[in-house]
Amino acid sequence: MRLEDLGYNDKLEQFRLDNNLDSFAIGRVIAEHKERYIVKTVNGEFEAEITGNMRFSAKSREDFPAVGDWVSLTTYESDFAVIHKIFPRFSIIKRQAVGQFGEVQIIATNVDYAFIVQAVDRDFNVNRLERYLTICNSSKVRPIMVLSKIDLIDKRRFSEIVESIKARIKNVPIIAISNESLDGYEAIKAIIEKGKTYCMLGSSGVGKSTLFNSLSGKPLMRTEAISKSTNKGRHVTSHRELTILENGGIIVDNPGMREVGIADSTSGLEITFDKIVSLSQHCKFKDCTHINETGCSVLDAVESGEIDRASYENYLKMEREKAHFESTLAERRRRDKKFGKIMKNFKKDMNKDKF
């Protein structure tokens, strides 16, 4: 294996040279288990930890390695290593973690394309597609929608679903697949490019791992039948994992997500809802919220049917989440700054007492 097979490129090599990393091994994080990382290098896989310095100076979750990262590391023996530096990421997929508002979870980094997987049988939902799309758009990751389990519905229902998507989402490729009949597999294999990184996004039970396993040709991820009595998926995949496919593509499987909160989607929402955003420039009031103002071009377009009402409502909901996220983030920054000052004064006092 060469590093290029894992997605290594000239930009990363330039960073390595610029930072004098000759004495280090270079690898890509392929799995993460509670602050322990599996890093793949040309000399095999290493179980790695971060340096104490990296932990100590980390300001947020983003300062820790994540699956997809390129890192420099020092190897010990044949299978243990210490991660020394994280290379700059060209993309980072993150979401708002459930519960603790303000805490962001990294799904994967250095991803070129995301497969947004949604099953067509039950629970199909265009709002959720728009949500994942927004995350992709704010992450600089190109989205591809994958409709799974098409073996479970008839042709009529399938066209209905595709129409409902096309009414709201333009210019995003749709691939329909069945992991049972293998319909659509040729199409999905055909778009996977060598050396590019793909990431599976979607709710639990939609068939991400089944697809991941079939594509990789070896059973890497556990999959499980859905409980028949409740018809609810259990979360089967509990960690993220990156692997190289036979055709040279690189793919990351992910645990299903129950909730996909919007974190930092400044441009994400604008790209996903570009029509609403461009209409809003014609609203009478500059600070129009598009909820009840007169002379609102967005509301007019909803009334006339030019903009889908459900899409409009989904946009407003995510705008609110984004605003909430930004205000809690600002609050946290204020707190951290205050804490930083206290620590600085504390250290100064400590030094004074030294002599």
Q: Which residues bind Zn ion (CB under 5 A)?
A: 283, 288, 290, 296, 298
Residue 107 binding target from Zn ion, Mg ion, ligand GTP, none, CB below 5 to 8 Å by type: none
**What is d(CA 33, CA 73) in angstroms, rounded to the nearest whole number?**
18
Using the structure block, give the residue that is written with the tokens 């749709």.
174
Answer yes or no whether residue 237 interacts with Mg ion by CB under 5 A: yes
Q: Which is nearer to Mg ion, 145 or 211 (CB)?
A: 211
| Shortest distance (Å) from residue 123 CB to ligand GTP | 12
Contact region for Mg ion (CB under 5 A) — 71-79, 236-244, 291-299, 318-326? 236-244
Residue 283 binding target from ligand GTP, Zn ion, Mg ion, none, CB below 5 to 8 Å by type: Zn ion
Sign of the alpha-carbon dihedral angle for 208, 211, 214, 217: negative
Q: How many residues sit in the footprint of Mg ion (CB under 5 A)?
A: 4
Residue of 139, 237, 272, 314 that binds ligand GTP (CB under 6 A): 237
Answer yes or no whether residue 233 interacts with ligand GTP by CB under 6 A: yes
Those residues with Cβ within 8 angstroms of residue 202's Cβ, 6 or more apart along the chain or in another chain: 115, 116, 117, 118, 132, 146, 208, 256, 257
Answer yes or no whether residue 182 interacts with ligand GTP by CB under 6 A: no
**What is d(CA 106, CA 82) in angstroms, rounded to the nearest whole number?**
21
Site string for ligand GTP, 118-157 (x = CB under 6 A): ------------------------------xx-xx-----
| Strand, helix or coil for residue 181 | coil
Q: Which is nearer to Zn ion, 11 or 284 (CB)?
A: 284
Residue of 160, 255, 271, 293 that binds ligand GTP (CB under 6 A): 255
Residue 296 binding target from ligand GTP, Mg ion, Zn ion, none, CB below 5 to 8 Å by type: Zn ion
| Shortest distance (Å) from residue 124 CB to ligand GTP | 13
Measured in degrees and rounded to the nearest 5, phi and psi for residue 316 equal -60, -40
Residue 235 binding target from ligand GTP, Zn ion, Mg ion, none, CB below 5 to 8 Å by type: ligand GTP
| Contact yes or no for 68/110 (Cβ under 8 A) | yes
79 is written with which tokens? 């299978």
**What is d(CA 55, CA 50) in angstroms, rounded to the nearest whole number?**
7
* 93: exposed, middle or buried (Cβ count in 10 Å: 0-12, 13-18, 19+): buried
Q: What is the Cβ-side half-sphere exposure of residue 233, based on CA atoms within 13 angstroms?
A: 22
Residue of 91, 96, 139, 209 that binds ligand GTP (CB under 6 A): 209
| Shortest distance (Å) from residue 290 CB to Zn ion | 4
In the chain, the amino acid numbered 62 is E
Residues 193-222 that bind Mg ion (CB under 5 A): 208-209
The residue number with the shortest CB distance to ligand GTP is 256
In order, the DSSP letters of 60-113 are SGGGS--TT-EEEEEEETTTEEEEEEEPPPS-EEEEEPSSSTT-EEEEEES-SE
Measured in degrees and rounded to the nearest 5, phi and psi for residue 110 equal 55, 45
Contact region for ligand GTP (CB under 6 A) — 98-106, 107-115, 134-142, 217-225? 217-225
| Shortest distance (Å) from residue 260 CB to ligand GTP | 13
Binding site residues, ligand GTP, CB under 6 A: 148-149, 151-152, 178-180, 204-210, 223-226, 233, 235-237, 255-256
